């Protein structure tokens, strides 16, 4: 994912030097039984935290999921997953839109 993201940054900078860029990657963990992608998995939160750290190393803002849930209704699962993904992005010091 990092190689793909950095290739995109390189291509954009070759096309238009100095263009504003940010580091982004979509990490999805698939449930092999149902084939659904888990948007709020603990692994995804860890990977987006690592992406934020790598982005800081390269001096690029990063993007990550915050407030996502796999719940189909507004219930306790939705609240817990949303809160934990927001907390993970906050602890990773993920960038936000300004």
In a domain, 54, yes or no: yes
CA distance 78 to 52: 24
In a domain, 81, yes or no: yes
Structural element, H or E, at residue 47: helix 42-58
89: pLDDT confidence band, cut at 50, 70 and 90? confident
In a domain, 96, yes or no: yes
In a domain, 10, yes or no: no
In a domain, 3, yes or no: no
Mind listing the pLDDT tens digit for each residue in 26-85? 777 787 888 877 777 788 888 888 888 888 898 888 877 788 888 889 999 899 988 988
| 45: number of Cβ within 10 Å | 24
Q: Is the pLDDT of residue 94 over 70?
A: no
The whole domain housing 43 covers: 31-98
CA distance 67 to 40: 8
Q: Is the pLDDT of residue 87 over 60?
A: yes
User: Cα dist. 12→4, 15, 45, 69 in Å?
Assistant: 12, 5, 27, 32
In a domain, 70, yes or no: yes
Query: What total number of domains does the chain contain?
Result: 1
In a domain, 84, yes or no: yes
CA distance 70 to 66: 13
């Amino acid at each position: 994912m990092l190689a793909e993201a950095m290739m995109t940054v390189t291509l954009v900078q070759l096309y238009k030097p100095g263009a504003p860029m940010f580091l982004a990657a979509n990490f999805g963990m698939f449930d092999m039984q149902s084939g659904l992608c888990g948007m709020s998995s603990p692994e995804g939160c860890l990977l987006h935290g690592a992406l934020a750290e790598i982005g800081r190393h390269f001096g690029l803002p990063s993007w990550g999921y915050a407030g996502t849930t796999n719940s189909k209704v507004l219930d306790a699962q939705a609240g817990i997953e949303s809160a934990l993904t927001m907390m993970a992005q906050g602890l990773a010091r993920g960038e936000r839109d300004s």
